Chains A and B, each alone.
Chain A
C-alpha cells in the first residue's frame, strides 16, 4: 500500500484523534489482556509523570509536506494546509526572549515549506543555544527555491536531523515513496558539501532511523555503525549520529498496523519491551510541543492525539507561563509505550 493522500484527505476515520484514542483504549487494554500505560507506571511505583524542567521547545510549524510517508504520525502531506503564521511565531519569540530555553526544535510536515520558516530561524537563532531542523532531505532538491537551504542552515548554525529509514532504496522508498532514497542521497551530498556531518566543521547532521514495519529498532550503536559504513562506502556520505526512533501507534502508522493485522501484536511487543529505565528519560519530561496554532502539548504525539497540557498549565503559547508549564502532570495513554520500549525512544534517539 502506497499512501498518496493523508488520512484527512481520504476521510479515514483515524484522522479523528478521538477514534485513535478509542482504538488505543479498547481491545487488549480494555479486556485486561495488556496493562494500560498508567497501570504499568504504577507497577514501577510511578503514579504520574512530571516534568524535570523545560529544555526543548518543539515547534510544529505546519503539517504540509512534499512527502506522504506511510508511517507518518503527523498525517502530513502535500494536501495538508495547516501552517503556523508569523504572528504565532512572534509569540514563540517572545517566550524565548523572556525564558531560558536551550533548544528550539523545528518540525512539521516539512518545516522548510512554511513561508516564514527562514524568518523564524533568524529571529530565534540568537535566543537559544541550538536550533534543530527536522528536514526530510528531499525538500532540499524539490524546488530551486530550496536549493540554498544547506547554506542557510550553515549560516544559522542549525543542527540538521533527517529521516533516512535505511541505507538502500528498497526499504526507504517503501516507507517514504518512490524515488525518495535517491533524492535523499542528493540532499545529503548537498549538506556534506557545505560541511554538514564533516568532522571539525561544527555543523551537525544526524540521521533518524525508523523501522520499516511492525518491529522495534535494534541497538542504536550497532545500526549507526552499519549506516556509517554503508553510506560512506557506497555514496561517500558523512553524518554525525544515527537516532533510532520507535514508530508510535499513531495516525498513519496506526492505520498500517490495523490494515496489516499487526496492531495487537505490535502493542504486545511494546508492552513486553517496557523498560523502567527508559521512563526517566522520556522527552515529555523536558520538552513542550507547540502546534501550528500555538497550542501546547506534552509531545508531538499528544499534539496529534489532541491531548493538551493538563490541569492549570497554559493551553496556548500566548499564555505561556514557565512555572505553570513545569507544574503539571504529563498526559499519558497507551501510545506512550512506544517511548519506553527497549532502549527507549525520543526525538534524540534511544534513551538508555
Chain B
C-alpha cells in the first residue's frame, strides 16, 4: 500500500455500505441528521466539526470541514482558534492526568 491515507478515498466513504448496508445506511442517515440546522446552526456545527477533526486527527475530516468552514464564511483566524481549542483540550486531557500521577506518588511514597 502506497499510503494509509489517500485523499481520493474520502469519496469512497459511502462504499462502507457494500459490506453492511443496513448499518452503513443508518450511520449516513444519522450523520446527515446531525449536521442539519437545529438548536445549533449548520454553521456552528461546521466549526465544531473542524475542531473535533483535529482532536481525532482525521485527515479526511480535516479536508472536509476546512472546506465546510470556508463555505460557511469562517475566516483563517477563527479556524485556527478552533484548532487551538482542540489542541488545548487534547493537551489538557494529558496534563490533567498529572493529578492521577501525583495521587499515585503520594500514595506510594513515604
Contact = CB atoms under 8 A, between A and B. Distances in A.
A215 B71 contact: yes
B89 to A, nearest CB: 26
Contacts of B84: none
Interface stretch (A49-57, A166-174, A252-260): A166-174
A342 to B, nearest CB: 9
Contacts of A171: 75
B42 interface: yes
B71 A170 contact: no
A294 B67 CA distance: 40
Given A168-B75, A171-B75, A222 B70 contact: no
A272 B11 CA distance: 10
B42 A213 contact: no
Contacts of A148: none
B41 interface: yes
A217 B75 contact: no
Contact of A223 (B68, B72, B76): B72
Interface string A79-91: 0000000000000
Interface in B20-79: 37, 41-43, 46, 67-68, 70-73, 75-76
A170 B70 contact: no
Q: Which of B71, B72, B73, B76 has the most CB of A within 10 A?
A: B73
A211 interface: yes
B50 to A, nearest CB: 14
A213 B42 CA distance: 20
Nearest to A272: B11
A226 interface: yes
B70 A166 contact: no
A211 B70 contact: yes
| Range of interface residues on B (Cβ < 8 Å) | 10 to 19
A168 B73 CA distance: 10
Contact of B75 (A170, A213, A222): A170
Interface in A203-230: 211-213, 215-219, 222-223, 226
A214 to B, nearest CB: 9
Contacts of B75: 168, 170-171
Nearest to B70: A215
Interface in B64-110: 67-68, 70-73, 75-76
B43 A222 contact: yes
A222 B73 CA distance: 10
Nearest to B72: A218
B71 to A, nearest CB: 4
Q: Which of A212, A216, A222 has the most CB of B within 10 A?
A: A222
23 contacts: A166-B73, A168-B75, A170-B75, A170-B76, A211-B70, A212-B70, A213-B70, A217-B71, A218-B42, A218-B46, A218-B68, A218-B71, A218-B72, A218-B73, A222-B37, A222-B41, A222-B43, A222-B72, A223-B72, A223-B73, A226-B43, A268-B11, A272-B11
Interface of A: 166, 168, 170-171, 211-213, 215-219, 222-223, 226, 268, 272
Interface of B: 11, 37, 41-43, 46, 67-68, 70-73, 75-76
